Amino acid sequence: MDQIMKVCSLSAQDMDILNRLDIPVLFPKPKRVRVVKWHRPRQGWVKLNTDGSSFGNPGTSGAGGVIRDEDGRLLLAYSVPLGLGTNNFAELRSLLEGNAVADFLAKCGAEGLNSDWADIHMLPSRVRGLLCMDKLGAPLWLARM
């Protein structure tokens, strides 16, 4: 009977026994280790890093992110429970959560609004509301209409 064994390591003696019994041995592919590090944004810029997570697929999911300046100083961090969802759902929602204000302003641009704002009080009321919700730590979907 042909059996296949998956093993992490075998002694030479064990390997010899399995070969004599014509039992093929599969060794797992070695894991590749990759160094991942944060790269600072250009001077005068900030960087948004987001991530989503799901315990199971689907499973309980959440999203989170951080905004840091060019020196790595934390400007804002958030985490949001998303309920039941897939890992891809959580990843996508983390981007939406982190970009709610930019998303709204992009839609304003698509509608023909061409503006720059230097004063928070001059921003559209919806943007001020989104910023306020962010500051209070409220989930994004409570601010949607």
Q: How many domains does the chain have?
A: 3
Give backbone dihedrals phi and psi of 17, rounded to 5 degrees, phi first.
-60, -45
Bridge-based pairing state of the strands 74-85 and 59-69: antiparallel
Average pLDDT (110-135) is 74
Clarify whether residues 114 and 86 are in a common domain. Answer: no
Clarify whether residues 42 and 87 are in a common domain. Answer: yes
Clarify whether residues 44 and 24 are in a common domain. Answer: no
Clarify whether residues 129 and 94 are in a common domain. Answer: no
Clarify whether residues 29 and 79 are in a common domain. Answer: no
Number of Cβ within a 10 Å radius of residue 98: 24
Clarify whether residues 135 and 104 are in a common domain. Answer: yes
Clarify whether residues 46 and 70 are in a common domain. Answer: yes
The full DSSP string for 55-101 is: EETTEEEEEEEEEEETT--EEEEEEEEEEEE-HHHHHHHHHHHHTHH
Clarify whether residues 16 and 42 are in a common domain. Answer: no
Clarify whether residues 139 and 127 are in a common domain. Answer: yes
Clarify whether residues 91 and 47 are in a common domain. Answer: yes
53/104 Cα distance (integer angstroms): 25
Residue 54: C-alpha distances to residues 40, 51, 63, 98 (Å): 28, 10, 9, 18
pLDDT digits (tens, 9 = 90+) for 19-66: 888 888 777 777 788 877 778 889 988 888 888 888 888 998 888 888
Clarify whether residues 50 and 90 are in a common domain. Answer: yes
The CATH number assigned to the domain holding 79 equals 3.30.420.10
Residues in the chain: 145
Average pLDDT (66-74) is 84
> Could you list the residue range(s) of the whole structural domain that residue 49 is in?
38-98
Residue 75: C-alpha distances to residues 3, 9, 72, 141 (Å): 57, 47, 9, 22
Average pLDDT (109-124) is 74
Taking each helix axis from N to C end, the angle separating 125-136 and 100-110, rounded to the nearest 10 degrees, works out to: 170
The larger pLDDT score, comparing residue 134 to residue 38, is at 38
